[in-house]
Structures are given as structure tokens and as C-alpha cells.
Amino acid sequence: MKVLITGAKGFVGKNLVAALECIRDGKDRREKYQALLPLEIFEYGIDSTPEDLDTFCAEADFVFNLAGVNRPKEASEFMEGNFGFASTLLDTLEKHGNKAPVMLSSSAQASLEGRYAGSEYGKSKLAGEELFKEYSKRTGADVLIYRLPNLYGKWCRPNYNSAVATFCNNIANDLPITVNDSSIELELLYIDDLVDALMGNLVGEVLRNESGFCVAAPTDKKTLGEIVELLHGFKSARGSLNVPDVTEGSFSKKLYSTYLSYLDPSDFSYELKMNVDNRGSFTEVLRTVDRGQVSINVSKPGITKGQHWHHTKWEKFCVVSGEGLIRLRRIGKDKQGNDYPVVEYGVSGEKLEVVEMIPGYTHSIINLSDTQDMVTLMWCNECFDPEKPDTFFEEV
């Protein structure tokens, strides 16, 4: 399949091109996209020539029209940049008798309702929609019109036409932000969800609403205040080690991915607080609200750590380097008044395995080496709370 993307260097265009390149190059091997191979991508952007457009329109099997003007110097440029180019594109397709399906990136502002009433940008988008509808009636070509809400995601240009991009960029890089009315609500669509919907067009997966417009879902409605609060939470998470809500499909998960993409490369890493003593070190790596915490434990040669038990807390230990022995014993006495037997697990970084620390069992971990540190990845089902430690000393 040959796919033409106008506005290929823009926010949506770059993300769509990258996704299609993964299919073309065999990196995205999902079965539903294999019918597109061999795949050729025609990228039309600001540096392309009329001759490029002519060639692409003659050969394309599908057209994504993402080109448009968002922030012109003069309001009149909206119509020229949005309606004008769309007209040129359709005229060129029609000249070649190419009835390939054409997708139009329109905007919610084309409704000209509510706060969009009188919008010059909306008027230009509405004119483009009418142009495409007339083209479809005249030629029989399938036209797919998307009235897109506010978009956000990686590679979106800050200080341009996206408040989310601006907030992400500025908060990530310690720059000031301005929110005149934190109660203003935005309908938001994540770039990956949009790209999934657009690529679905290529394999016959198209969702339309009652008005006939194509739909990319899901969207979220959030106020500016809610967005800023989340972003400040992301910013402070390095110090608290808290991981934001990353529930599948959640706005928080998508916004956090977006926020990270605005970090300066020099700021990708951050130090952790190592709790060091003569036995080695213990370092928390991350904390979650409802999935506990992850830590790294380093034990020096011959050292035994642990020797405690928990009522409710449980843990998972995985030695990733070195060699050790994990010992567990149920606390209390059996019916004969004897200690319960000790269970032992030999562990090594050469053979990764998880050993569970069970509630009601005292446990220890011993570094068996005389020369090498032992490194253990530890997960606990709850974050440590000094007010309720649920940790009680007892030798195994």
C-alpha cells in the first residue's frame, strides 16, 4: 500500500509516520497490519514541492490530510492554509482520477458553537469539511472527516497551540506557567489513541458517530487545574519515589508519558537515597499508592540480613547478582511445642527466581560469598510506614 501523509512534519504527522515506519520495516508485526505490506510512505511537508504532491497524488492508495495552519500572522491565512491547500490536494487527486480514500483532520472548532462561535480557525475547518463532502459526492471517493478535540502527547510543540504541551514543557524544565482560569475544561485526545484510529482506517476499522464524523476514542475531559495538579505531582515524584496512576487507559498514564517526553536529556537521571551501613545498603527505587514499593538490597560478603517477620506484609526477593541463602521459619511452636522447621532456598544471580516472604514467617537472607557483594531486587506489597512498620525481630 502507498500512503500519502500531508503535514508529515507536524505533531500528528510525525507520530503517524513513525508508527507506519514500524510496520513498513517489520518492527510492528501485528497480524492486522501485514496486509499493508509492502508499505510505501509519501511524506508531504512544508519543504515539499508541487511536483512532489502531483506524483504522490497519482500513486497514493490512501491519503491522510493533516496539513493545516494553526497560528498564522493574519486571520485570513486560516482559510488560505486550511481550505486552500485542501482544495489543491483534492484537485490533484481528481486530475489523476485517483479515488483513494481521503482522511481530513478537522477540529471541534468547526462546530462554531459555544466558545468556538465566530472562530476564524473553525470557519476555515468547516469550509474544508464541506469541500471534502462535495468532493466525495462528485467522485465517489470515501472521505473520512475527524473533528479532533485538544491533542496531546510526545513531540507536540509547546507555546504554540496546546496548553498541555506548554504546561508539560514548562513544569518539566522549571519554567513558569500561567493559568488564568483553572476551571476551564478541555476535551483531550492522546496522540497514540488517535494514531491507532488513523491506522485502523487502513485496515477497514472505522468508527463513526451519528453525524457521520469519524471518531477517535477514548477522550478525557479535564480542567486546566486538574492537569496542572497532576503535572506538579509528576515533578515531585522523583523526591517521593511515588509512581503516578498508570492504570491502563487512564489519563494519568498518558499524561505522565507525555510529561516525560519534555524532560531535557540532561535531566533523565536522578539520584536515590542509599541507606548504607557496615552490612551493605538498602535503597528504595519506587513507591506506589496501591502496589507497594521496589527496593535494591546490597549485602556485603558473609552478611545476614532480615531476621524478622510480618503480620500482613509480604515480599518477593530476587537475587540478581551473587550467591545467597534465603531461610524462612513459621513463628510459634507446633503441637509438640517445637519450633517449626526452617525452609531454605539457595539463590543466585546465575539463575533468577523469586522467593516469597510469607506473613507469619520470620526470614533472613545470607550472602554466601567471601568476596562478592550480593544484590537483591525486593518488592513489598506495601510501602514502609514508620507509624505502622509491621516488622518484628526474630532470628530464623
- C-alpha 338/C-alpha 331 separation (Å) is 11
Whether the bond into 301 is cis, omega within 30 of 0: no
Q: What residues have CB less than 8 Å from 278, skipping those under 6 apart? A: 300
Q: What residues have CB less than 8 Å from 65, skipping those under 6 apart? A: 6, 7, 86, 89, 102, 103, 104, 105
pLDDT > 90? residue 378? yes
Residues pairing with 152 in the sheet: 190
* CATH number 3.40.50.720 given to 151-189+220-270: yes
- C-alpha 12/C-alpha 107 separation (Å) is 13
* CATH number 3.40.50.2000 given to 274-393: no
b/e map 140-172, b = 16+ CB within 10 Å: ebebbbbbbbbbbbbbbebeeebbbbbbbbbbb
DSSP assignment of 242-303: BPPP--TT-HHHHHHHHHHTTS-GGGS-----EEEETTEEEEEEEE-SSS-EEEEEEE-TT-
58 in helix, strand or coil? helix
Q: Read off the pLDDT of residues 362-376 as tens digits, 9 standing for 90 and up.
A: 999 999 999 999 999
- C-alpha 203/C-alpha 101 separation (Å) is 12
- C-alpha 6/C-alpha 43 separation (Å) is 6
- C-alpha 71/C-alpha 165 separation (Å) is 15
User: Among residues 346, 16, 294, 353, which one has the least CA distance to residue 155?
Assistant: 16
Q: What residues have CB less than 8 Å from 208, skipping those under 6 apart? A: 214, 215
- Around Cβ 47, how many Cβ atoms within 10 Å? 9
Domain ranges of the chain: 1-148, 151-189+220-270, 274-393
Pairing verdict, β 323-330 and 342-348: antiparallel
pLDDT of amino acid 83: 65
Percent of all residues in the chain with a pLDDT value above 90, rounded to a whole number = 87
pLDDT > 90? residue 357? yes
The pTM of this model reads 0.90
- C-alpha 152/C-alpha 377 separation (Å) is 35
- The C-alpha cell that represents 312 in the structure block: 500482613
Q: Read off the pLDDT of residues 276-329 as tens digits, 9 standing for 90 and up.
A: 999 999 999 999 989 999 999 999 999 999 999 999 999 999 999 999 999 999
Same fold: 1-148 with 274-393: no
DSSP assignment of 145-185: EEEE-EEESTTPPTTTS-HHHHHHHHHHTT-----S-TT-E
User: Among residues 77, 140, 147, 61, which one has the least CA distance to residue 108?
Assistant: 147
**CA-CA-CA-CA torsion sign (301, 304, 310, 314):** positive
396 neighbors 363 (Cβ within 8 angstroms): yes
> Which candidate in 121, 146, 259, 361 is catalytic?
121
HSE on the CB side for 102, CA within 13 Å? 31
- C-alpha 13/C-alpha 18 separation (Å) is 8
**Would residue 121 show up in a list of annotated catalytic residues for this protein?**
yes
pLDDT of amino acid 81: 47
b/e map 282-294, b = 16+ CB within 10 Å: bbbebbbeeebbb
> Which CATH entry fits the domain spanning 1-148: 3.40.30.10, 3.30.70.100, 3.40.50.720, 3.30.1490.190?
3.40.50.720
DSSP state of 338: P
324 neighbors 344 (Cβ within 8 angstroms): no
pLDDT > 70? residue 70? no
pLDDT > 50? residue 79? no
Q: Read off the pLDDT of residues 10-55 as tens digits, 9 standing for 90 and up.
A: 999 999 999 999 999 999 999 999 999 999 999 999 899 999 999 9
